[in-house]
């Protein structure tokens, strides 16, 4: 099984629109990459997945996703509450 991970930063830079991930050219190229890999039974991955984009990415055909880590201060907040 093959896997490609699209680096939007590199792709947008190469297309002349650095860090403009919603630029039509970037979106078009990313869609083409996903469609091409899926058509050949390969996995296409996305390295920046969060609650705001996961449904869109799954709907777009991405089959390998890396969720963004969540920062939590639960122990600190609980400790502060108990210390009051």
Tell me the mean pLDDT per 10 residues along the chain, length 84: 89 96 95 95 91 92 89 87 89
Report if pTM > 0.85: no
Q: Which helix (H) or strand (E) holds 57?
A: helix 54-60
Tell me the C-alpha distance between 49 and 71, whole Å. 15
DSSP percent split of the chain into helix, strand, coil, nearest 5: 50, 15, 35
Instruction: Map out the domains of the chain as residue ranges.
Output: 3-83
Report the pLDDT value the prediction gives residue 39, as an integer from 0 to 100: 95
């Amino acid at each position: 099984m093959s896997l490609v991970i699209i680096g939007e930063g590199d792709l947008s830079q190469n297309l002349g629109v650095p860090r403009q991930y919603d630029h039509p050219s970037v979106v078009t190229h990313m869609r083409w990459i996903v469609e091409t890999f899926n058509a050949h039974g390969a996995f296409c991955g996305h390295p920046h997945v969060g609650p705001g984009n996961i449904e869109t990415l799954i709907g777009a055909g991405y089959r390998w996703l890396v969720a963004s880590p969540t920062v939590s201060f639960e122990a600190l907040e609980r400790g502060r509450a108990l210390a009051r």
